[in-house]
Amino acid sequence: MRKKITIAGAGQTGATLAHWLALRGDVDVVLFDIVDGMPQGKALDLLEAMPIIGSDAHIVGTNDWEATKDSDIVVITSGLPRKPGMSRDDLLKVNAGIVADVTRNAVAQSPNSILILLTNPLDAMCHVALQESGFPASRVFGQAGILDTARFRAFLAMELNVSVAEVNAYVLGGHGDDMVPLIGSTNVGGIPISKLIPAERLGQIVDRARKGGGEIVALLKTGSAFYAPSAAIAQMIDAVLNDRKRILPCSVYTGDNEGGYDVNNLYLGLPARLGATGVEKVVHIDLTEEENAALQKSAASVQELVTVLKDNDLLH
Ligand code: APR
């Protein structure tokens, strides 16, 4: 039986994700948005591309939650971008309201689904979706580290003029400034990165990856990155649909110190084994003292956002 995937939010990332999924040809995609006509128009345009690329993907656009009924996976990209004059906390509260509403509607139609979050601030939004869905944390997780890792890998491959396939790296922690690249485990064709790139240059590359989202916002001027974030979600979906047991950095719930990173009851970017049931395991990687300090700092930033949501009765 074909799997059904709902994408809540048919904006830049949502629509581009639909495109990546349509290329697979083996899934039904529902694009949901509150804007009248927009998801229907994008879905129809994409559907009309299928005979050209030879894909039998079914794609529908809707403003009606009923059309999302019995989805296997629901991806939540719905949210507002930060507008001029809006504080970080204002955006946090607005997007928490949107994610709460979308989660309630989505799970009412698809009580057995897996929820994958993309709305920012990502880790905090995962907390909201976990609470509103009542799902086990294994079925609620977010896209974070695959994107940061991909940016880092892309820049390293460019620097060394090698295939991206040769570059193995992990970036943990939160997005952007808080990201924690694991330099010690980064290698190119098995050769440690520290043997290939001098420390100072490597620092510059890490910094570019760290500011990767901002670099794109500055170039685009309106909107933020969407190709790579949606490709990252497509990879997570593929891991679930095919029970691949891939170990990918995702925003996952640590519960009672799962994974052994000394972080409790918090969503944070950590390596997770993804399979048919969602997050099967938070995987432990030994961190250096410096990496651990950076991860704890990252956890503290997420905790701050969670506290703001609690203070505003958006989380309990
Ligand atoms: N229900 C459903 N969709 C909604 C709702 C809602 N309550 N509120 C807003 N949306 C929709 C908007 O209509 C819009 O089409 O969410 C979509 C968001 O799309 P974009 O503004 O194009 O944003 P995008 O670039 O896709 O990013 C989405 O992912 O990476 C993060 O920071 C980014 O939080 C942002 C999210």
Residue 230 φ then ψ, to 5°: -75, -35
Tokens of 143: 């896209």
Euclidean distance between the first and the last CA atom of the chain, given in angstroms as a whole number: 38
What confidence score (pLDDT) does residue 148 get?
93
Q: Which amino acid is at 303?
A: Q
**CB atoms closer than 10 angstroms to residue 24:** 17
Q: How many Å lie between the centroid of ligand 1 and the Cα of residue 79?
A: 4
Say if CB 60 and CB 102 are below 8 A apart. no
Residues serving a catalytic function are 175
* CA 45 – CA 61 distance, rounded (Å): 10
Nearest to 269 by CA among 232, 238, 234: 232
Say if CB 125 and CB 144 are below 8 A apart. no
Residue nearest to atom 14 of ligand 1 (CA): 11
Q: Residue 42: in which H helix or E strand, if any?
A: helix 38-53
Q: What is the pLDDT along the chain (316 residues), one digit of tens a residue?
A: 899 999 999 999 999 999 999 999 999 999 999 999 999 999 999 999 999 999 999 999 999 999 999 999 999 999 998 777 777 788 899 999 999 999 999 999 999 999 999 999 999 999 999 999 999 999 999 998 999 999 999 999 999 999 999 999 999 988 767 789 999 989 999 999 999 999 999 999 999 999 998 899 889 988 889 999 999 999 999 999 999 999 999 999 999 999 999 999 999 999 999 999 999 999 999 999 999 999 999 999 999 999 999 999 999 8
Burial of residue 215, with CB atoms counted within 10 A of its CB: 0-12 exposed, 13-18 middle, 19 or more buried: middle
* CA 12 – CA 31 distance, rounded (Å): 12
Residue nearest to atom 34 of ligand 1 (CA): 119
* CA 59 – CA 15 distance, rounded (Å): 11
Q: How many Å lie between the centroid of ligand 1 and the Cα of residue 77?
A: 5
From 17, 34, 75, 94, mutation site for ligand 1 pocket: most ligand atoms within 8 A of C-beta: 34
Is residue 216 within 6 Å of ligand 1 at its C-beta? no
Residue nearest to atom 21 of ligand 1 (CA): 11
Say if CB 279 and CB 252 are below 8 A apart. yes
What is the dihedral angle through the alpha carbons of 114, 116, 122, 128, rounded to the nearest 10 degrees?
-30
What confidence score (pLDDT) does residue 81 get?
80
Is residue 81 within 6 Å of ligand 1 at its C-beta? yes
The alpha carbon of 124 is separated from its chain's Cα centroid by a whole number of angstroms, namely 12
Question: In sequence order, which ranges of 188-279 are alpha helices (DSSP H)?
Answer: 199-210, 212-220, 227-241
In sequence order, which residues have a C-beta less than 8 Å from that of residue 40 and are 6 or more positions away? Answer: 60, 61, 62, 63
From 7, 77, 224, mutation site for ligand 1 pocket: most ligand atoms within 8 A of C-beta: 77
**CB atoms closer than 10 angstroms to residue 64:** 10
Q: Could you give the domains of the chain? A: 3-143 (3.40.50.720), 145-306 (3.90.110.10)
* CA 206 – CA 126 distance, rounded (Å): 26
Burial of residue 168, with CB atoms counted within 10 A of its CB: 0-12 exposed, 13-18 middle, 19 or more buried: middle
Is residue 285 within 6 Å of ligand 1 at its C-beta? no
From 20, 33, 105, 251, mutation site for ligand 1 pocket: most ligand atoms within 8 A of C-beta: 33
Is residue 77 within 6 Å of ligand 1 at its C-beta? yes
Give bridge partners of residue 114 from the DSSP assignment.
73
Is residue 143 within 6 Å of ligand 1 at its C-beta? no
Helices (H) and strands (E) in the chain, counts: 9, 14
What confidence score (pLDDT) does residue 222 get?
86
Is residue 113 within 6 Å of ligand 1 at its C-beta? no
What confidence score (pLDDT) does residue 179 get?
87
Residue reference for tokens 């990856």: 209
